[in-house]
Amino acid sequence: MALQFYLLRSPGLLPFGDLLNLTDDKLDPYAGISLGVRTASYSDNDSSGSFVSPYSSGVITGVHAGARYFLNNNFGGFAEVGYGVAALRPGITLKFRFSISKYY
C-alpha cells in the first residue's frame, strides 16, 4: 500500500516586526497566505477495491503565522502555525545575499 502526496505552493508573506517595534534583528515574525497545487495518489496490491482514499488532487489555499529566528546572518530556524498545509510546521531557514554587477 502506498499513499503519495506532492505539493507545490507559493507563500506570500507579510513581515510585521516593524509594526510591533521589535528591536531584535534576529526575530522576524510574519503572517501569510498560500496558493498551490496538491497531487495525491494511492496504490495497493489488494484487488478488492475496498479502500477509497479521502485525499484528492487539486488547488490548495492556506493561511499561516510564523516567525523566523536567525542564529547568525545566514542561518536560522522557523515555526509556522496555520491552516491549509500543516497545523504546525518547524524548519530551518537560510538567507542568501548576492549582487549582480557589470564589469567594464
Tens of pLDDT along 56-92? Answer: 788 888 899 999 999 998 999 999 999 876 789 899 9
pLDDT on residue 75: 95
What's the whole-model pTM score? Answer: 0.66
Reduced 3-state DSSP string for 48-67:
CCCCCCCCCCEEEEEEEEEE
Residues 66, 76: Cα–Cα separation, whole Å: 13
- Amino acid identity of residue 22, one-letter, is L
User: How far, in Å, CA of 10 to CA of 76, rounded?
Assistant: 20
pLDDT above 60 (res 104) = no
Environment class of residue 38 by beta-carbon count within 10 Å: exposed (0-12), middle (13-18) or buried (19+)? middle
End-to-end C-alpha distance for the chain, whole angstroms: 60
